[in-house]
Structure 1
Amino acid sequence: MTTQPSDNDLIAQVLRGNQQVFAELVKRYQNFVFTITQRYVDSREDAEEISQDVFVKAYRSLRDFRGDSKFSTWLYTITSTTCITHLRRKKQDVFSLDQENVFARAENLNSGFNANEVEQKSKINMVNSAIALLSPDDAQVITLFYKAEQSLDEIANIMGLETNTVKVRLHRARQRLKEKMEKHFVAELNDLR
């Protein structure tokens, strides 16, 4: 069994001059970046363009990555900043997690016909639809914790909050998500039981 090199190992290789290794980081995080980008823009083409810009910026700034947090946290910050800059240039509205089907569109990028995959995607779409009903702050903390797999400390760093505040917000957001699911997805939840 071979183990995959860690993000920090790959970064060290890139910084030592092996630029081709950066492609592995892109491969690992392209869906992560694209999903975040689609929260901000409606156009798939814009999301693809911004995602490319994010990886170019990340590559150029790789020496600035100190390793204090996960690479994904650092990349999230670059992605968010790049999206906001893009929107300011285009003078468009920012699309929040309240917009319908933002996550559903991202989840359907790799659609398959396997029955288990279809069922799993149906569950994911149900949860994503429920997340879309939450306030932007609740949706962000849920997304960062469950989808981006960030720790409470990392979320606090991203959102500019204290860790205990994030813990409380996450708890309350989970409660509200449960309420939304029980109110809007009764039949789907019964099918799962």
Structure 2
Amino acid sequence: SQHRLEVFSAATTPHMAVADALLLSQSLPLFFAAPQFDGRKLGQGDYYGDGGILSNYPLHLFDGSQYENNNPYYRNGLNWQTLGCRLYTPADCPEAGQRPITNIASYLSNLFETSLESQITAHERRPIDQRRTINVSNCCISTTDFSVAPQPEDPIYQKLVQAGETAVRSFLESYTPPDLVIPAPLSRRIRRQIEHFFHYRNRGQNEQ
């Protein structure tokens, strides 16, 4: 209700739970009731909506000057420690760009998707951001498809997980740090961390 974007972080909102910040940030207008927050707790104060409506992929937030101190990967206003993951809709999706409007919900869904597409276009025009981005296919699943369950037995969920793993591996296999950021083997460090994540995740699944 303040007509502006707001950043939730340990620096700006140190007393806020991460779960509460996520709740505010993913509240699609009319799909979910608009939550309120007064700077300390939910349930009172200003109304909030999904941050993705205005800024769905704010990679630039981590390029602020506060990240420059003692950071060998900060060069010319860019923080090369930043690595983002962005969902995209494959061009061969059956309904890509053509979702029928039959009621107010489908109208709002189309409106939201249009807003996201315009932001995607802006991102694609910045090659410097693409070098810091892992592009993950959404497997033609709409942003407003709430039927997907984060359960091992849900085939759509597993398909999305596999798409994410494939995208990460592909990115790391072809990644080379920019010339200005060679002082330390950042790519190898990131690759080791990701490989450890996949190793322990797969081991956990096998033990279930």
Same fold (TM over 0.5): no
Give the greater-gyration-radius structure (CA). 2
Greater relative contact order (CA < 8 Å, ≥ 6 in sequence) = 1
Larger fraction in helix: 1
- TM-score, length of structure 2 as denominator length: 0.30
TM-score by length of 1: 0.32
